[in-house]
């Protein structure tokens, strides 16, 4: 047999292919087992310590998952680091009051809890301390306020049960040292296996209400659902302040608005006009769900926790932050454009959204001026009901776009749609207020 003989070469290749194929299969299996992004991929195989169920102290996980915990710890570093803003004008977690961004926002939120204290969100490792330090609701915060601020919560929910947990107060849990650790490993991972796990009952209930089976979720779904446990709009129901995700009718804005319009339909009244208002809290998952990335099957973690090599393993970056901090790894696996082009596209979307937010804020302020003027002219209170309905619709759309944390990028078209509607409703509310008084508009 000659090396120049094609048939001989084919026989040699066939003989070589069997062991090479087996080796390739073994390597693929090894990379699949080691190359995933969960702690299980790189930690379970070299477990150093056994972790207790619901282990809340993320530092206790460090011997098994040193790279993950070290990266998680860095989420505390951006607390007062202004240079984190270099990733973009809408990133970072330094203590900046949100209501100072546009003129008149303190007036829009007057009468509600966010008028007193609303700062940029902190990184996971500082979440609990930010809650404790917050002036919002003072010292008598219900346990529901800590439901997404501490990795002690999964253990407390398991030990106490939801009813007893909701009945507790943050101060009492802190005194008993039952609430001592910030958001960490146990919020998203099983202590025994490192696998992703859903630990918040309100998300499980919401998924089931939509006909979804949490137990049947694949890994890619879980890479978004673990985030949805906390980065979603929620309602506090009843005197017990039970947390509920209002997804029974769906996750679009109109579904959330319908949930806000059910009883009780107001969290506070705008004091100058007695307009009942409600707050949409960090509806990041709902905004993402309306966007192109969700439709393409891209998970939250793909962008905010991009994979990186650590030795032979590929792990997710646990210094969770804006994709603009590392667009090459966050965006590059799917997008071939130069990094600067990708960054420019993101910033263009965010700047457009910001301009619309500013214009809508002015329109809302003008509407309030018109209603105040109508009341001064002696307009009957009932004559302003039309204003109140329109203003509420405008405010909820504004609040959704302002409160979700991507500044429009999670769903650019949806953000523009909602702000266009908000601007229209705000101007309609202004006209309704001028029409309500006994005197014509000057």
Which DSSP string do the residues of 282-332 spell out, in sequence order? --HHHHHHTSHHHHTT--HHHHHS-EEEETTEEEE--S---GGGSHHHHTT
Pick from 25-34, 113-122, 223-232, 334-343: least confident: 25-34
The percentage of residues in the chain with a pLDDT greater than 70, rounded to a whole number, is: 84
DSSP 8-state class, residue 244? E
- What pLDDT, on a 0 to 100 scale, did the predictor assign at position 95? 63
Q: How many domains does the chain have?
A: 1
Pick from 13-22, 246-255, 276-285: least confident: 13-22
Q: 364: Cβ–Cβ under 8 A, 6 or more apart, which residues? A: 104, 108, 391, 394, 395, 398, 422, 426
Q: Which residues of 27-58 are buried (b: 16+ CB within 10 A; e: fewer)?
A: eeeeeeebbbbbbbbbbbeeeeeebeebbbbb
Mean predicted lDDT score pLDDT of the chain: 86
* 435 within some domain: no
Are the beta carbons of 188 and 199 closer than 8 angstroms? yes
Which domain range does residue 268 map to? 58-336
Task: Please report, for the domain that includes residue 74, its CATH number.
Answer: 1.10.1130.10
Are the beta carbons of 406 and 344 closer than 8 angstroms? no
Of the ranges 99-103, 212-216, 429-433, 436-440, which is most confident?
A: 429-433
Is it the case that residue 280 has pLDDT exceeding 80? yes
168-182 mean pLDDT:
94
Spacing of C-alpha 219 from chain mean position? 19
Residue 119 pLDDT level (bands cut at 50, 70, 90): confident
Is it the case that residue 28 has pLDDT exceeding 70? no
Q: What is the pTM of this model?
A: 0.87
* 226 within some domain: yes
* 24 within some domain: no
370-391 mean pLDDT:
97
- What pLDDT, on a 0 to 100 scale, did the predictor assign at position 401? 98
Q: Could you tell me how many helices (H) and strands (E) the chain has, helices first?
A: 18, 6
Question: ∠ CA 40-334-329 to the nearest 5 degrees?
Answer: 55
Euclidean distance between CA atoms 88 and 350, whole angstroms = 9
- What pLDDT, on a 0 to 100 scale, did the predictor assign at position 122? 82
Residue 14 pLDDT level (bands cut at 50, 70, 90): very low
- What pLDDT, on a 0 to 100 scale, did the predictor assign at position 365? 97
Question: ∠ CA 118-124-130 to the nearest 5 degrees?
Answer: 35
Positive or negative, the Cα torsion across 174, 178, 181, 183? negative
11 vs 209, which has greater pLDDT? 209
Residue 100 pLDDT level (bands cut at 50, 70, 90): confident
* 93 within some domain: yes
Helix (H, G, I), strand (E, B) or coil at 142: strand
Tokens of 349: 């979307």
The percentage of residues in the chain with a pLDDT greater than 90, rounded to a whole number, is: 70
- What pLDDT, on a 0 to 100 scale, did the predictor assign at position 410? 98
Is it the case that residue 71 has pLDDT exceeding 50? yes
Query: Per DSSP, what are the bridge partners of residue 268?
Result: 277
Are the beta carbons of 203 and 197 closer than 8 angstroms? no
* 87 within some domain: yes
Is it the case that residue 397 has pLDDT exceeding 90? yes
179-205 mean pLDDT:
97
Residue 167 pLDDT level (bands cut at 50, 70, 90): very high
* 178 within some domain: yes
Pick from 1-5, 48-52, 259-263, 368-372: least confident: 1-5
- What pLDDT, on a 0 to 100 scale, did the predictor assign at position 10? 37
Euclidean distance between CA atoms 112 and 109, whole angstroms = 6
Distance between first and last Cα of the chain: 103
Residue 191: name the closest of 43, 37, 32 by CA. 43
Alpha helices in 77-126 (DSSP H): 105-108
* 358 within some domain: no
Is it the case that residue 346 has pLDDT exceeding 90? yes
Tokens of 442: 């000057």
HEC states along 401-434? Answer: HHHCCCCCCCCHHHHHHHHHHHHHHHHHHHHHHH
Euclidean distance between CA atoms 181 and 275, whole angstroms = 39
| Residue 226 host element (H or E) | helix 219-228
Query: What is the per-residue pLDDT across 308-329, written as a single tens digit (0 to 9) for each?
Result: 988 888 899 999 989 998 999 9
* 409 within some domain: no
- What pLDDT, on a 0 to 100 scale, did the predictor assign at position 262? 82
Residue 120 pLDDT level (bands cut at 50, 70, 90): confident
Euclidean distance between CA atoms 125 and 320, whole angstroms = 10
């Amino acid at each position: 047999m000659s090396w120049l003989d094609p048939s001989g070469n084919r026989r040699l290749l066939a003989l070589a292919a069997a062991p090479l194929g087996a080796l390739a299969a073994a390597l693929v299996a090894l990379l699949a087992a080691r190359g995933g992004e969960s702690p299980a991929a790189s930690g379970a195989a070299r477990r150093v310590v056994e972790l207790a169920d619901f282990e809340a102290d993320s530092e206790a996980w460090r011997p098994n998952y040193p790279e993950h915990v070290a990266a998680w710890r860095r989420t505390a570093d951006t607390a007062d680091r202004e240079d984190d803003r270099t990733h973009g004008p809408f990133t970072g977690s330094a203590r900046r009051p949100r209501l100072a961004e546009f003129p008149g926002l303190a007036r829009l939120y007057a009468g509600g809890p966010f008028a007193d204290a609303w700062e940029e969100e902190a990184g996971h490792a500082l979440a609990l301390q930010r809650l404790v330090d917050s002036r919002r609701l003072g010292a008598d915060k219900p346990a529901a306020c800590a439901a997404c601020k501490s990795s002690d919560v999964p253990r407390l929910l398991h030990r106490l049960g939801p009813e007893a947990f909701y009945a507790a107060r943050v101060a009492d849990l802190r005194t008993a040292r039952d609430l001592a650790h910030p958001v960490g490993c146990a919020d998203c991972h099983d202590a025994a296996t490192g696998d992703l796990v859903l630990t918040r009952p309100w998300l499980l209930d919401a998924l089931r209400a939509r006909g979804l089976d949490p137990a049947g979720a694949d890994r890619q779904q879980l890479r978004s659902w673990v985030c949805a446990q906390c980065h979603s709009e929620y309602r506090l129901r009843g005197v017990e302040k039970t947390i509920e995700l209002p997804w029974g009718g769906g996750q679009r804005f109109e579904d959330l608005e319908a949930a806000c319009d059910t009883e009780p339909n107001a969290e506070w009244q705008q004091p100058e006009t007695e307009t009942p208002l409600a707050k949409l809290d960090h509806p990041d998952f709902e905004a993402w769900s309306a966007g192109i990335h969700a439709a393409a099957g891209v998970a939250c973690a793909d962008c905010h926790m991009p994979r990186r090599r650590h030795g032979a393993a590929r792990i997710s970056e646990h210094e969770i932050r804006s994709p603009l901090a590392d667009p090459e790894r966050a965006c590059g696996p799917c997008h071939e454009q130069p990094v600067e082009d990708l960054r420019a596209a993101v910033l263009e979307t965010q700047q457009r959204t910001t301009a619309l937010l500013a214009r809508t804020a002015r329109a809302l302020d003008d509407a309030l001026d018109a209603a105040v003027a109508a009341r001064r002219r002696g307009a009957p209170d009932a004559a302003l009901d039309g204003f109140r309905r329109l203003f509420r619709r405008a405010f909820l759309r504004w609040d959704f776009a302002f409160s979700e944390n991507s500044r429009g990028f999670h769903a650019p078209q949806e953000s523009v749609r909602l702000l266009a509607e908000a601007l229209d409703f705000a101007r309609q509310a202004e006209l309704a207020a001028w029409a309500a008084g006994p005197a014509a508009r000057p």
